[in-house]
A and B are shown apart, each in its own frame.
Chain A
């Protein structure tokens, strides 16, 4: 009827986001904290070279409490472990992905 719509913001509203899930995952895999976003993981990622999946960016979004894309995106990971191998900060990415998937799926009915 109008020919246009009110657009929902793409701004991260940090205070509104549910950070409980993030905190839970951080407790399970605290090494996420020391990521410095160098992107080595994404550069080498098996899945990321064939799909838009970007593990480095996923980790940032997870830390900000932006879960919308995570569940479907993380499904693309092949758990090959190459990211963990190259990370200069020693982030345990493979475990992080597993724990994130688990947490998001378990919490699905409550939060997502």
Chain B
């Protein structure tokens, strides 16, 4: 990629990102799969950047997974989201920080729908009132939490303890970014860099010393697809799409994948195990996989946090090869320090861990 030229392009997709005072909308699934990511996001904002962000225990799922799986009707989803707006309004916040790409897509889609069909908004206001006696204001600013990290990437860089650089060779680490379909494919103007040359993760990687790979299937879907994964008979589509991406990126020998979206992170991580078991293919060096990080985990590593405090032991693909490249001093025995000794995860047959 001609970096200079593509940078020109993403600059035309600058969106407004609020600077402070956020209401945090968590993801329903991330806390299971990448449990420390959201915690780290809050820590970075509150402790490193001295921002005000509210983590509300009354906040629930946005129902996105059910909605995209055709299980619940749109009105239900809209009313649940309207309730989040109401919680935010009641607390006096106007800026929404959304942790999940699917939620972000849904919230954005809902606000766009209301712009064009005000009667839909009126209907949802009524439903919310009937169900909960709550009212809401439309958020002033809607940002994905990666937008906020992107917005503060230089400040994070100033505080960084480590760089995305191979400690031995001094070369920038080679990074694959995956922004997730619902971040920019639905509304390209709402995503930094748009859909074709996304810059939100690339901007972080470049600021922190790494180098992003523009591989042929960069824009391809991870294959999660909700219904496609959730129905077992369809799961083959799902894994095959991820495989298509791995096959395309592998020749570039990426040091890790950084992902924007809870679903994508999970599938890019876990499918590497599945593919290894099913057909013996592994994509990293020496039978290992390609480590997959969330952007919060990546920021956490850069800020010098302990990998096991970042929850990296929860990943299917071992992150140790990456930690070694970055010259991170970590304790091996501590990896499963919170685990009962007889409940260590079993080793996969094919994938090295």
Contacts and interface: CB of A to CB of B under 8 A. Distances in A.
A and B in direct contact, judged by CB atoms within 8 A: yes
Interface of A: 2-7, 9
B278 interface: yes
B232 A3 contact: yes
B334 interface: no
B285 interface: no
Greatest chain B CB density within 10 A among A3, A5, A6, A9 is at: A6
Interface string B225-242: 000000011111101100
A32 to B, nearest CB: 30
B239 A6 contact: yes
Q: Is the interface of A mostly helix, strand, loop or mixed?
A: loop
Contact of A2 (B234, B244, B278): B278
B240 A3 contact: no
A2 B235 CA distance: 9
A5 B274 CA distance: 10
Contact of A6 (B232, B234, B275): B275
Most buried by B among A4, A5, A7: A4
A89 B243 CA distance: 43
B244 A5 contact: no
Contacts of A5: 236, 278
Interface in B238-281: 239-240, 243-244, 274-275, 278-279
B244 A6 contact: no
Contacts of B235: 2-4
A6 to B, nearest CB: 5
Contacts of A3: 232-233, 235
Interface string B193-237: 000000000000000000000000000000000000000111111
B236 A9 contact: no
A96 B279 CA distance: 40
A2 B240 CA distance: 14
A7 B274 CA distance: 13
Contacts of B233: 3-4
A9 B240 contact: yes
A7 B244 CA distance: 10
Interface in B97-155: none
A4 B244 contact: no
15 contacts: A2-B278, A3-B232, A3-B235, A4-B232, A4-B235, A5-B278, A6-B236, A6-B239, A6-B240, A6-B275, A6-B278, A6-B279, A7-B237, A9-B240, A9-B244
Contacts of B275: 6
B221 to A, nearest CB: 14
Contacts of B274: 2
A9 B223 CA distance: 14
A7 B243 CA distance: 10
Nearest to A3: B232
Nearest to A5: B236
A6 B266 CA distance: 18
A3 B278 CA distance: 11
A5 B275 CA distance: 10
A9 B237 CA distance: 10
Smallest CB-CB A-B distances: 8 pairs: A4-B235, A4-B236, A7-B240, A3-B232, A7-B236, A5-B236, A6-B240, A6-B278
B152 to A, nearest CB: 40
Contacts of B244: 9
A64 B238 CA distance: 27
Given A3-B235, A4-B233, A9-B244, 17 more contacts: A2-B278, A3-B232, A3-B233, A4-B232, A4-B235, A4-B236, A5-B236, A5-B278, A6-B236, A6-B239, A6-B240, A6-B243, A6-B278, A7-B236, A7-B237, A7-B240, A9-B240
